[in-house]
Chains A and B, each alone.
Chain A
Amino acid sequence: GNSVTQMEGPVTLSEEAFLTINCTYTATGYPSLFWYVQYPGEGLQLLLKATKADDKGSNKGFEATYRKETTSFHLEKGSVQVSDSAVYFCALNIQGAQKLVFGQGTRLTINP
């Protein structure tokens, strides 16, 4: 089946630290991959996406590269800010399927 596994949280970093949140997937077809972010008290917002192997999605200083050989889509940011504190969800969708499959989410806290 199709599934997404994210690194266990919570993750706590200091401001300006380098961030990596790992995401690996299992898929029966050729998925599109997404990162969503959920700020406190809000719904999920699309952060970035990649629709084919070797694509790099980027937004707000975050980036992730679709690695087919390692079935991964790790989220990175070079210098995090307090405002990046949120829960981050990795997700996939198979072309023709009706639903996004989400990982369990990783809570990120950035301390000043």
Chain B
Amino acid sequence: ETGVTQTPRHLVMGMTNKKSLKCEQHLGHNAMYWYKQSAKKPLELMFVYNFKEQTENNSVPSRFSPECPNSSHLFLHLHTLQPEDSALYLCASSQEATGGANYGYTFGSGTRLTVV
């Protein structure tokens, strides 16, 4: 158990579907992150939330919509995705966004997304 739980583990969706990824942590952390991991590409930071406020959007297309209702939960809402959006989506948390320098991140196991 990593302390960060992501659901579902696997998701197959059509390009016209709407789905959501969920991330939950009970580590008392105040910062949460979405990363995209594609084959043969470096990890791409998508969004940063610090104390429930979005503090970074790394030029992510609007078909990805994050939501952070509280410091323990983070969602990624998906709609009208493209096949190239197929990837492993990783959620992470840290004590606070600027605290990652000393404490590092705790990652979830990821959601393997396939867009057909």
Contact = CB atoms under 8 A, between A and B. Distances in A.
A24 to B, nearest CB: 15
B16 interface: no
Contact of A43 (B31, B50, B97, B110): B110
Contacts of A103: 42
Interface residues of B, number: 27
Contact of B43 (A46, A49, A89, A98): A89
A44 B42 contact: no
Contacts of A46: 104-106
Interface in A60-79: none
Nearest to B110: A43
A104 B42 contact: yes
A100 B104 CA distance: 8
A25 interface: no
Contact of A105 (B4, B42, B102): B42
A100 B42 CA distance: 12
Contacts of A36: 104, 107
A95 interface: yes
B81 interface: no
A96 B101 contact: yes
A43 B105 CA distance: 11
B90 A43 contact: yes
Given A89-B43, A98-B50, A102-B42, A42 B102 contact: no
A98 B56 contact: yes
Interface string A27-49: 00001101010000111111001
Interface of B: 2, 4, 6, 31, 33, 41-43, 45, 48, 50, 55-56, 90, 92, 97-98, 100-102, 104-110
Given A43-B4, A43-B6, A93-B100, 8 more contacts: A43-B92, A49-B104, A95-B98, A97-B100, A98-B48, A98-B98, A99-B56, A104-B42
